[in-house]
Structure 1
Amino acid sequence: MATKESHTWLQNYPAEVLPSYSYSEEPLQHFLLRAAEEYPQKTAIHYMGKDLTYQEVYEYAVQFANVLKSLGVEKGDRVAVMLANTPQAVISYYGTLFAGGIVVQMNPLFVEREIEQHLVDSGAKVLVCLDMGYPRVQKIRDHTNLEHVLVTSIKDFLPFPKNKLYPLKQKKDMGMKIEVNYDRTTHNWKESVTKASKQREEVAIDPRKDLALIQYTGGTTGAPKGVMLTHYNLVVNTEQCVQWMYKTEKGRERILAALPFFHVYGMTTAMNLGVMHVAELVIVPRFDPKQVLKTIEKKKITMFPGAPTMYIALTNHEDIEKHDLTSIKACLSGAAPLPQEVQHSFERKTGGKLVEGYGLTETSPVAAANPIWEGGKLGSIGLPWPDTEMAVLNQEDGSLVDSGEVGEIAVRGPQVMQGYWNKEEETNAVFSGEWFKTGDMGYRDEEGFFYIVDRKKDMIIAGGFNVYPREVEEVLYEHEAILEAAVIGVPDPYRGETVKAFVVCKEGQELSDNELETFCRTKLAAYKIPRLFERREELPKTMVGKVLRRVLAEEEAEKSEHGNTGKASG
């Protein structure tokens, strides 16, 4: 399908980056073993004042693997890890791989229905969860295949006196003391791990065939789908990340881990990259802009993968000028489109480099990114990574379209998933040979840079014209009074759909509908201009800061059912 003409992106690669590499043919967990052998006393994790060396993290991971084996976990068994960003999350992840298991990442904020859904679909035998999540697990446990639950607590790796004070804070915040009844199938994570052997037993792994991870995605349109990623998929994508960030140095970086590890973006660009590059992972349990600014300055953070909402919050924080952020080398933005004005503002205020990348859970996740230090293009998602091909396909017949023409983005490369867990029909629907069809609409310019105009399912058809929400949002972000914006299509009896914009104004700022409409009229064709505006205090988001247009659309649908339509101003 690809042609020589479609590889024009290679001429825009930085001189330091090769078009192709030879990737490690070994299990992902071996990079933790390697780090412990080569840099045993190097700090691997900094967490709330507590430091763990690579030797310590490796030994804990081996001990956790031995705990799993003692509970009957064998090669290929699924182990669900439902943890916030903590040392236990890293240890449980790599320990599962050492045991030959397949990690099933789960959001610790899941409600009972979501927990049950993921556990039943994956067939997980063991679950690791926080004590505060244990009551939710208990309610649905009998409806799953779970044989054992390992329960840990935030306090387990806190330094003194925080570990003693935490239970009091937890009781105050939750209004109750959490009690866990340990028995033959419910185990104390910390006690089990510290008692286990540190002797590693090798499990034979075929990196190209054996799964390391089942990562769920696509819950917006029905049941979530489990993306099957092999050891090789994840190793390749992490090594591609290292090569793209060619100015970083092994053993000398400090990564701010604010993205959740249970999301594939944080897992690869923070946790796995950190281990492979022997960096210090500075774990931030919760993204608080003021605390993050202090952490970047105090810990001399050099790498900070994040989401646009994080950079928006930092650049608009009143304290940003008070902190020295010049240690930052590279920030890769993902999970959602990066508004150009946010990129300009962040680089101007910090001196760090911030570029937009692109990927999906199905691509481990990164498929493309702008060159970090030179040659990028604002508004673009950049160039396909080494050994990765991208194409733009005609929606009707799947043929390649010319540069500049909008179509569906397709990807093929060694980081592309094996398919969806137990969902052959859904897998076949998204593959055309080796090409994975992303569902994102975009185009390629003559120099090989790719641009996303929007998700196929988010496209608005107003009066017969296609309107892409991202384009309208980019314009709204240019207004100096707007902090955040989201655009959706709402039913319209005359136009079929019309454009509605939700805006969050900066503190102390106000905008009327007329002011917003006048501003948009100078920058957008008439059919793209929002006809409805609504002010919000905040927008609904995922854990990685991606704005949930789906939730806004559901709210509008509910209003429509009750006859509550018209020009809302919040």
Structure 2
Amino acid sequence: MVFHSQYPDLDIPQCNILTYLFGDGQNQPTTPLWIEAANPSHSLSVAQILSWVKRLGSGLDKLGVPKAAAIMVFSPNHLYVPVVYLAAAGSQRLFTGANPSYTANEVALQIKTIEASILLVHPSLLKTGLAAAKEAGLPFDRVFQFSSGENPLSEEGIRDWRSILPSHSEAQSWKWDDLYGKPSTETTAAINFSSGTTGLPKGTCITHYNLVSNASQSLYLRLVGSPFSVERPNPDERWLAFLPLYHAYSQLWTINIACKLRVRVYVMDKFELAPFLSYIERYKITALQAVPPVLVMLAKRPETSKYDLSSVNHILCGAAPLSQTLQQEVSTKLGCVIAMNPGTVDIDESGSIGHLTPNTEIKLIDDDGNEAIGEGARGELVVRGPQIMKEYWRNEQATRDCKDSEGWFWTGDVALHRGGKFWIVDRKKELIKVNGLQVAPAELEAVLLEHDGIADAAAVGIVVHGEEIPRAYVVLQPHAKGKVNEKDIQDFVAKRVAKHKKLAGGVKFVDEIPKLASGKIIRKVMKEWSKRDVKEVESRVKARL
């Protein structure tokens, strides 16, 4: 059974992302749009960012960087990351960003995989960036320092990125190809590397039409039922951007949608709780795009009570599963709407991921490969729509494994359909198999986070005596340390789940749950921990038996 959106199909333009955002480029607003949160005197207007985009587009042309070549950014967030994103994509080159926490080996792997032509490195990461460039064989004259301020020549002879740019006046004649029609569906704009939570990262190729579609759909859902529109947005809206700009979620909202809506965005270089809370109070932030770990902090960290967060009226949460309990807890505490939006469904306040977005279809495929139908249908979420990626970068097998010839994309998410809405149960590859029964780590994690002594948690399967059983790694709240033990946690969960979901593999207290900047738990690390702990757990299970 194919589920269709309840919303009317949108007339989504097929064009260059620059055409979608800036039209013909004339008469752009000059009021500050992207603002440095730590220093609001530093800002860029739409007109200014377009001028910088033209300068970089022209500079890359003069440098001889060919079309479809990758421009790679290795930097924390700052005001000029959107410039590179839009200039690289708009000039028919490729934008790709690397996690600033990567090691030199990890950066080198991405450089080699993407065959980067240019590497823009923040000065604080220059040592790592140069080591990566050397390992990947990228000449140092194609590596540039990249930050909000202009940088002097480094000891290694690395120039500032501004050195390749013509003046603002010289670049005003630079034009981009509108890519109307089919070219926009075929031309890759950005390559975002998958999180690598279960294996090596893969490059996800996103076309201009994908970007325009995703922005159009998200804007429709954000504005439907409100008195505002793209042409007449809410003048009082203010956002705080703290999600990493190498990630698609942040690119969509911080760059593309903010620019289209002309919403003021205060940009943080990275997430830190105290500054995050202070900026909300200082700038009277009205809306946030967040990930579940941030909501866990808002719900459970005592620091939140020290700041006035009453201006926040809407939080969009994506990138990882969010429990209904946590959703409701934060909503009640802050008095705001908490909405989920993974990109194929609309926002919802019931704990579900809601209805389908416009122009989108969904199927649920059960373990036997059949379409799950009717009320309570459960299976892998298979999606088709104009926002779905084109392919994995130079990885035909990986593309075939998740996308068929008819455009259906196999997400790996296990979903439940009920009452016309969808609930994400878990990731298919992450399910724990207990005596043939499936246990979703996210379900156990949601239960664990209901405990007022738990700050964060992750569940994973551990194979003991040839059988897989659930195990949890838990970060305690400061007030619970020394007062709550492992058995207390096991008993707490046991009262709330079926027998096969009990934490028979035990509980281990840790200082931190390993997560990506997007908020996703790094499942491959959890599996490594469980393998490491097998002997310890087996000895306990033996003694118990």
TM-score over 0.5 for the pair: yes
Separation in 1, partners of 2:172, 2:215: 27
Q: Which amino acid aligns with 1:388?
A: T
Separation in 1, partners of 2:464, 2:173: 63
Write the deviation string for residues 44-86 of structure 1: whole angstroms up to 9, x where unpaired. 2111212222222211121111221121123222211222110
Q: Pick one of 448, 458, 461 that aligns with 1:489.
A: 461
**2:362 aligned with 1:390:** yes
Q: Pick one of 449, 453, 477 that aligns with 1:506.
A: 477
Whether the aligned pair in 2 keeps the contact of 1:403 and 1:443 (CA below 8 Å) is no
2:526 is matched with 552
1:362 is matched with none
**2:166 aligned with 1:189:** no
1:541 is matched with 515
**2:87 aligned with 1:110:** no
What are structure 2's unaligned runs of at least 5 residues?
none
Give matches, 1:135-534, under 5 Å: 135-144=127-136, 146=138, 148-154=141-147, 156=149, 179-182=154-157, 186-193=158-165, 195=167, 197-204=170-177, 205=179, 206-217=183-194, 219-246=196-223, 247=226, 250=233, 252=235, 253-358=237-342, 366-371=343-348, 376-378=349-351, 380-432=352-404, 433-445=406-418, 447-493=419-465, 496-509=467-480, 510-531=483-504, 532-534=506-508
Separation in 1, partners of 2:254, 2:148: 23
Write the deviation string for residues 197-235 of structure 1: whole angstroms up to 9, x where unpaired. 332422323212211011111534443221111001011
Q: Which amino acid aligns with 1:520?
A: V
Q: How much identity, in percent, do the aligned residues show?
A: 26
Whether the aligned pair in 2 keeps the contact of 1:208 and 1:231 (CA below 8 Å) is yes
- Flag the 1:194–1:539 CA change in 2: closer, same or farther, 3 A: farther
Q: Tell me whether 509-518 or 285-294 shows the greater mean CA deviation.
A: 509-518
How many angstroms does 1:324 deviate by? 3.1
Whether the aligned pair in 2 keeps the contact of 1:78 and 1:122 (CA below 8 Å) is yes
Q: Which amino acid aligns with 2:339?
A: V
Separation in 1, partners of 2:304, 2:417: 36
What are structure 1's unaligned runs of at least 5 residues?
11-17, 158-162, 168-177, 359-365
Count the aligned residue pairs: 521
Give matches, 1:13-28, under 5 Å: 18-28=7-17
Write the deviation string for residues 263-292 of structure 1: whole angstroms up to 9, x where unpaired. 111111222111111111210112122211
Separation in 2, partners of 1:139, 1:188: 18
How many angstroms does 1:38 deviate by? 5.0
Could you say what secondary structure the match of 2:333 adopts?
A: helix
How many angstroms does 1:418 deviate by? 1.1
How many angstroms does 1:557 deviate by? 1.6
CA RMSD of aligned residues (A): 2.5
Separation in 2, partners of 1:354, 1:396: 35
Separation in 1, partners of 2:494, 2:132: 52
Separation in 1, partners of 2:89, 2:11: 23
How many angstroms does 1:192 deviate by? 3.4
Separation in 1, partners of 2:134, 2:361: 45
**2:90 aligned with 1:98:** yes
How many angstroms does 1:396 deviate by? 2.5
- Flag the 1:203–1:58 CA change in 2: closer, same or farther, 3 A: closer
Write the deviation string for residues 66-108 of structure 1: whole angstroms up to 9, x where unpaired. 2211211232222112221101211111121232211122212
Separation in 1, partners of 2:120, 2:291: 27
Separation in 1, partners of 2:334, 2:28: 31
Write the deviation string for residues 165-193 of structure 1: whole angstroms up to 9, x where unpaired. xx9xxxxxxxxxx94433xxx43113433
Q: Pick one of 59, 66, 71 that aligns with 1:67.
A: 59
Write the deviation string for residues 478-508 of structure 1: whole angstroms up to 9, x where unpaired. 12222211100001216x1011011112221
Whether the aligned pair in 1 keeps the contact of 2:321 and 2:442 (CA below 8 Å) is yes
Separation in 1, partners of 2:312, 2:531: 43
* TM-score after normalising by structure 1: 0.85
Separation in 1, partners of 2:337, 2:113: 41
- Flag the 1:219–1:515 CA change in 2: closer, same or farther, 3 A: closer
